[in-house]
């Protein structure tokens, strides 16, 4: 039988299972923070006390900003973030874009301005600061898929020009009658073999985008306008990350050197026919064995599906192709009728900066200027790691 003290303790403190269930529901935690005075929080377990305290702080911030926004006249506070708060808001906004936790600096967000700017949802949370035109998501096309950029080798540098030695002729081993190591005559020399070196040079190429935004627009709808602009800008830069390693025309045109450009010197394999299982396998076999294990094959959409249709129609024992045909990828930047295959880690990108964001206020135009810059370039370091199939036909 439970003692009277145990019964009272059970009645006063929620069961551990109940508290776990509450912690798993943020809306319940927020509701408790609204209705339970702070001095009674000690009735709950330590973990739930902390959660309620955090929810109470967040509610207080939103309420403070909402109340401030309704005040007018000389005593109304300026709902404008200072430079430190703007920087922290931008950090949080970028964290959200790449899927990381959004955690404003507590000192900078003491009045809730950053929290409100990051979460304008309902009128009670300050959503009335966002005009109706911008509450809904901006209509835009789908984000450019990243196919090529993730599989390239990327190295950071502080120099605009990087020069590396390249071996163009390797050591030749003397064998049999040509090996003179045990020649009877002391005057007989071992035949000399010397590797030949040349140079590979990378010259960082600049790209940039500038977006002037009226401060009035930012103040009325900071999250939608700013985040959408940054997302669109990131998408525009990612298109070049995908295009130039394939179709770039080199330093003379201030671009990376693409694998499909004639200046890259990639060996071509004429196919000149509709894809068949035989000529697809012939193309794969043309990639040297040392690079084949890490190879990918990249094609335009029509070419890719013509190849897939051929394989699906005529392959009856697919297990024999496992490990023999590299992964096939689609890219809009490969000319239809061509197939590019090889070890893409042998394409090296050197970069000084990628997606660097610079902001400032142009007071004379009441505008925030946002500039995004990059400086990078790339080229294949071992051209023998790649092959280009040409003349693929399809209906």
75 and 195 housed in the same domain: no
How large a percentage of the chain has pLDDT more than 90? 39
What is the band of 77 on the pLDDT scale with cuts at 50, 70, 90? Answer: very low
What is the band of 240 on the pLDDT scale with cuts at 50, 70, 90? Answer: very high
With a cut of 50, say whether residue 214 has pLDDT above it: yes
43 and 118 housed in the same domain: yes
| Residues spanned by the domain of 88 | 4-129
195 and 60 housed in the same domain: no
pLDDT digits (tens, 9 = 90+) for 21-65: 666 677 777 777 777 777 666 777 777 777 877 777 777 666 655
209 and 347 housed in the same domain: yes
Of 376, 295, 382, give the one whose Cα is nearest residue 339: 295
What is the band of 319 on the pLDDT scale with cuts at 50, 70, 90? Answer: confident
Structurally, how many domains does the chain consist of? 3
Torsion of the alpha carbons at 250, 251, 255 and 261, rounded to the nearest 10:
0
276 and 328 housed in the same domain: yes
Of 270, 239, 340, give the one whose Cα is nearest residue 298: 340
51 and 153 housed in the same domain: no
Cβ proximity of 56 and 33 under 8 Å: yes
- Give me the mean pLDDT over the 336-358 stretch: 94
206 phi, psi to nearest 5 deg:
-90, 145
113 and 210 housed in the same domain: no
pLDDT digits (tens, 9 = 90+) for 278-304: 999 999 999 999 999 999 999 999 999
> What mean pLDDT value characterizes the chain?
80
- Give me the mean pLDDT over the 365-379 stretch: 91
With a cut of 50, say whether residue 386 has pLDDT above it: yes
Last residue of a domain, one of 129, 148, 172: 129
Provide the 3-class DSSP secondary structure of residue 375: strand
Of 317, 152, 155, give the one whose Cα is nearest residue 242: 152
Greatest mean pLDDT range, 78-82, 139-143, 354-358, 382-386: 382-386
| CB-based burial, 106-141: b 16+ in 10 Å, e otherwise | eebbebbbbbbbbebeeeebbeebbeeebeeeeeee
For residues 98 and 119, what is the distance between their CA atoms, to the nearest angstrom?
17
Q: Can you give the pLDDT at residue 61? A: 61
How large a percentage of the chain has pLDDT more than 70? 77
Instruction: List, in order, residues 6 or more apart from 236 with CB less than 8 Å away.
Output: 209
125 and 136 housed in the same domain: no
With a cut of 80, say whether residue 223 has pLDDT above it: no
Model confidence, pTM = 0.62
HEC sequence for 174-207: CCHHHCCCCCCCCCCCCCCCCCEEEEEEEECEEE
187 and 240 housed in the same domain: no
pLDDT digits (tens, 9 = 90+) for 105-136: 888 887 777 777 776 443 433 333 333 333 33
Q: Can you give the pLDDT at residue 121? A: 42
With a cut of 70, say whether residue 187 has pLDDT above it: yes
105 phi, psi to nearest 5 deg:
-65, 125
Instruction: List, in order, residues 6 or more apart from 297 with CB less than 8 Å away.
Output: 283, 284, 325, 326, 327, 328, 329, 339, 340, 341
Cβ proximity of 45 and 53 under 8 Å: no
Of 284, 277, 267, 340, give the one whose Cα is nearest residue 306: 277
Q: Can you give the pLDDT at residue 17? A: 63
Q: Can you give the pLDDT at residue 54? A: 76
For residues 117 and 120, what is the distance between their CA atoms, to the nearest angstrom?
6
Q: Can you give the pLDDT at residue 12? A: 47
Residue whose token pair is 């003491």: 110
18 and 90 housed in the same domain: yes
For residues 109 and 52, what is the distance between their CA atoms, to the nearest angstrom?
19
244 and 114 housed in the same domain: no
67 and 178 housed in the same domain: no
Last residue of a domain, one of 108, 129, 150: 129
């Amino acid at each position: 039988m439970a003692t009277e003290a145990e019964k009272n303790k059970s009645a006063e403190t929620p069961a551990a299972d109940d508290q776990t269930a509450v912690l798993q529901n943020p809306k319940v935690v927020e509701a408790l923070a609204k209705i339970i005075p702070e001095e009674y929080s000690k009735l709950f377990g330590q973990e739930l006390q902390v959660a309620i305290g955090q929810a109470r702080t967040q509610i207080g911030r939103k309420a403070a900003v909402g109340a401030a926004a309704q005040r007018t006249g000389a005593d109304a506070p300026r709902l404008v973030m200072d430079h430190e708060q703007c920087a922290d808001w931008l950090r949080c906004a970028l964290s959200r874009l790449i899927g990381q936790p959004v955690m404003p600096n507590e000192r900078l967000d003491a009045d809730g301005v950053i929290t409100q700017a990051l979460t304008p949802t309902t009128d009670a949370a300050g959503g009335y600061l966002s005009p109706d035109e911008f509450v809904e998501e901006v209509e835009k096309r789908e984000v450019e898929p990243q196919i090529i950029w993730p599989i390239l080798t990327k190295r950071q540098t502080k120099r605009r020009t990087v020069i590396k030695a390249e071996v163009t002729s390797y050591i030749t081993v003397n064998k049999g009658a040509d090996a003179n190591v045990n020649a009877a005559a002391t005057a007989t020399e071992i035949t000399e073999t010397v590797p030949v070196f040349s140079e590979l040079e990378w010259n960082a190429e600049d790209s940039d985008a500038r977006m002037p935004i009226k401060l009035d627009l930012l103040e009325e709808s900071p999250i939608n306008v700013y985040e959408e602009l940054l997302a669109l800008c990131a998408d525009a830069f990612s298109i070049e990350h995908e295009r130039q390693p394939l179709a770039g025309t080199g330093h003379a045109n201030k671009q990376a050197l693409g694998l499909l450009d004639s200046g890259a010197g990639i060996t071509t394999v004429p196919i000149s026919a509709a894809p068949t299982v035989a000529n697809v396998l012939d193309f794969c076999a043309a990639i040297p064995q040392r690079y084949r294990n890490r190879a990918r094959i990249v094609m335009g959409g029509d070419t890719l599906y013509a190849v897939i249709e051929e394989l699906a129609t005529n392959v009856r024992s697919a297990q024999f192709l496992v490990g023999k045909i590299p992964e096939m990828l689609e890219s809009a930047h490969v000319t239809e009728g061509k197939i590019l295959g090889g070890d893409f880690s042998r394409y090296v990108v050197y970069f000084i900066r990628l997606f660097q964001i610079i902001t400032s206020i142009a007071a004379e135009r009441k505008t925030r200027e946002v500039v995004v810059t990059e400086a990078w370039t790339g080229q294949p370091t071992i051209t023998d790691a790649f092959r280009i199939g040409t003349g693929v036909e399809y209906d």
